[in-house]
Structure 1
Amino acid sequence: MPLADRAEFPEIWLDRSNAEVVWKLKREAQDAKFGDFYRDGSNRVLFAPSFKLIAAFDAVNDVRFNAYVKDLAAGEPVRRWTVNKYTGGQAALVNLADIKLFRVAEMYLIRAEAYAAKGVTGLVPGTKDLNDLCAERIDGYLPQTFATSAALVDAVLLERYRELAFEGHRYFDLRRKGRNVERWPEDVIQAPTALTLTPDDRGYYIPIPVRERQANENISEHPKYE
């Protein structure tokens, strides 16, 4: 299954195209609206995209930018960013959108990272996967080259940050690599000491619910929560 091109990509999130969608969860009018998690029907923003994420995109040339985020206060002095990815394409049913569980883009990124893990022999094919994806997302994209596998992994993780935004991957990507959660000051104005979360911090880990531990005696809580 091929990647969606720049013309097809926005249509995926409006449920007008299944380009590159391997598997999705169909949402009907009676179902819970996933978009309500980010913004309610009165345009009240509940969870906003981080300024760090917004800055990670090329807002002019990257087709994902307008598909994923939106400024509700366009033209006003103070911007009011919201997640646009799950607004859907039905004016009468705002925030009703099918959930795209597996897309070809993620498969490209998984394979690129797997190639990088092979070392020098994986640099060329891994770089090609990353460049092929970016070429379909960014107008005027210039192919990149990487001197080391580590550099390619860094690029893949950054691209996962952009491509899979709001799909629940970022925290686990950082966790499996043992990397810090790094925030911008603008994103933690209510908690200015929360700029960095490291593997030494209790909050870096998710506690396991009691019921799950009771149901399986082989599951134990992380030491940080014991």
Structure 2
Amino acid sequence: MFKMVKYFAFSLCIASLVLQGCSKKELVDLYPEFNLDALANPSNIKQVEDVLLGAYAAFRNANYFGSGSGTGSGWAIMPDVLSDNLYETLQTLSNSRAMADWLYQPNTAQVATLYAAPYGVIANANIVLRDIDKFTTSANQLLANRLKGQAYAMRAMAHFDLMRYFAVKYDRNSTTDLALYYSTQFIVQPNVRPARMSNKQYYDSIFNDLSKATTLLGNVDAPINPVTGLTRPYIDLPVINALLARIYLYAGMWPEAIAAATRVINDRPLVNLDQAAFSGMYNQTSRGEIIWNVQFETGQQGPTFLAYFATNGRSYFRPALEIATVAGTTGLIRSNDIRYSAFFTTMSGEQSLTKFRGKGTVTDGSTNFPVFRTGEMYLIRAEARARNAQEGPALDDLNALRAARINGYIPVTGVTGALLLEAIANERRRELVGEGHRFFDLKRTTRTITRGSTCGNQAISPAGDCQLNPTDREWTLPIPESVRNANENAQQNPDY
């Protein structure tokens, strides 16, 4: 594990040496310029800040929110590929077929890269937290708070994202289910071989980091994101609340999820049937409901290339017909829904997922990824309320979101129990398709993946297995063989 941390941190820094630097006030669109002394022996707080910008750059890794040609996009599009939202097409390069068909093993290359990607963020965050106090004075305390708060939040988020793939269960208080090791130091010694923590220990560490981040970011020297503009590329207090809301949902902490989501909703209202504002979140022409976006610029491959190769219009994975169709009259997302034209484009008579194809009218695939949006917060609050005996307010949230998306929507009434939860789950499919949720949603609610009408039709898709049962091992990715070879204490997940 720590060998991977070392590799990704240093490779990131070496790559940054050949590019121009950027100040904290600029967009996170360039790698910061700093030398290896900033890792081992920084000389001032500016160098520490550069390492923090390196952590932001690590979110663009091709296996985190970025993508390669038919690969990657681990926390963006991959969870839709792994589930029932997208299907593999005959245009695919087979680069991700082992993932799409649930054939992965401990030696599968993409499993190793998915495991490693968040450690680039964690390594840089740990370097910031290791060094920043050396240069903190009474004069720059609020600046230090701003940098430390972001580093704690990044570390928590990257660890949570690892848990989503590599932990078998998400039970908050389990002392027997294994998460991973929670790394709080930049350690590269080969003799350090930590064991995996229980879910309880791991969650405790996440919440401890987010508690520190909340306190620090509540007392800073300057706004973290610009007040106006088209993006929100940095982590501020609304991002902390959005992350908490998401984690509380996974952990089954319903009152806490409701409270955190409400704080964000109050800060970032929905756009109301505003096509330009909604679509603008994906092509950088409007902030819309963005809470936090990972910034991609020209030449940096954004999330789309796993599913849609923007520069030549090639679709490796397309929306399942149960999601949307060319006619726009069937499926979960229809043509009277502002999400339809924002998410999809008909090409050569087939539907393509084009929400990340580029900025403005450019189709180079270098567009931002909205990690958190207000729509998700409504759905988190709706589900948490439904599971916390507040079905009326839950239905109110569901109706409010639909009314902001669907022209001519008529609110539904009287939906309760399992039907209400199913309606919320379907709305999550509509709202969040291609944004890194479906596989995890099915996993955390112990559902079966049953792929739709294209699965098994060899004239349309080469996909094989069409069903993943709740007890199947493939809901959890294996600990990579390379990690196990370096650290025998990194216990393998069951049945691998």
Matching residue of 1:6: 273
Match of 1:81 in 2: 351
Q: Percent identity?
A: 32
TM-score, normalised on structure 1?
0.86
Given that 1:3 and 1:105 are in contact with CA atoms closer than 8 Å, whether structure 2 keeps it comes out as yes
1:106 aligned residue = 376
Q: Structure 2: any 5+ residue segments left out of the alignment?
A: 1-267, 325-329
The structure-2 alpha-carbon separation of the partners of 1:216 and 1:18, relative to structure 1 and needing over 3 Å to count, comes to: farther
- Deviation per residue, 1:100-133 (Å, 9 max, x gap): 00001101100111001112xx011111111100
User: Deviation of residue 143 (structure 1)?
Assistant: 1.0
- The alignment status of 1:32 with 2:289, answered yes or no, reads no
CA–CA distance in structure 1, aligned partners of residues 420 and 295 of structure 2: 35
Distance 2:381 2:463 in 1: 37
How many aligned residue pairs are there?
Answer: 217
**AA partner of residue 63 (structure 1):** I
Q: Whole-Å Cα distance in 1 between the matches of residues 304 and 355 of structure 2?
A: 8
Q: Which has the larger radius of gyration?
A: 2
Quick one: structure 1 residues 187 and 66, their matched pair in 2 at CA, closer, same or farther if it must change by over 3 Å? farther
SS in 1 for 2:322: helix
Separation in 1, partners of 2:471, 2:372: 32
- Separation in structure 2 between the aligned mates of residue 193 and residue 26 of structure 1, nearest angstrom: 35
Aligned to 1:70: 345
Q: TM-score, normalised by structure 2?
A: 0.41
Shift of 1:185: 2.8
Distance 1:23 1:212, change over 3 A: farther
Q: How large is the RMSD of aligned CA atoms in angstroms?
A: 2.2
Q: Residues 124, 25 of structure 1: CA spacing in aligned structure 2 closer, same or farther, 3 A cutoff?
A: same
The residue number in structure 2 matching 1:176 is 444
Asked if 1 retains the 8 angstrom alpha-carbon contact of 2:357 and 2:366, the reply is yes
2: CA distance, partners of 1:147 / 1:185: 28
8 A contact 2:322–2:332 mirrored in 1: no
Secondary structure of 2:293's aligned partner: strand
Give the partner amino acid of 2:271.
A
2:289 corresponding residue in structure 1: 20
Equivalent position of 2:366 in the other structure: 96
Deviation at 1:61, TM superposition (A): 0.9
- Conserved 8 A contact 1:174-1:180: yes
- The verdict on how the C-alpha distance between 1:209 and 1:66 changes in structure 2, with shifts beyond 3 A counting, is same
Question: Quick one: which amino acid aligns to residue 3 of structure 1?
Answer: L
Higher mean C-alpha displacement, 171-180 vs 39-48: 39-48
What is the CA–CA distance in structure 2 between the aligned matches of 1:101 and 1:212, rounded to whole Å? 28
Aligned to 2:395: 127
Aligned-partner Cα distance in 1 for 2:369–2:303:
8
Task: Tell me the CA shift for residue 24 of structure 1.
Answer: 0.5
Cα distance in 2 between the residues matched to 1:20 and 1:201: 37
| Cα distance, 1:215 vs structure 2 | 5.2
Cα displacement (A) at 1:221 = 2.7
Counterpart in the other structure of 1:56: 331
Superposed CA offset, 1:150-202 (max 9, x none)? 22211111100110001110011001111000111323424686332112333
The residue aligned with 1:196 is: 467
Aligned to 1:76: none
CA distance 1:14–1:149, change in 2 (3 Å): same
* Counterpart contact for 2:335–2:341, Cα < 8 Å: no
Cα contact 1:23–1:103 (8 A) shared by 2 = yes
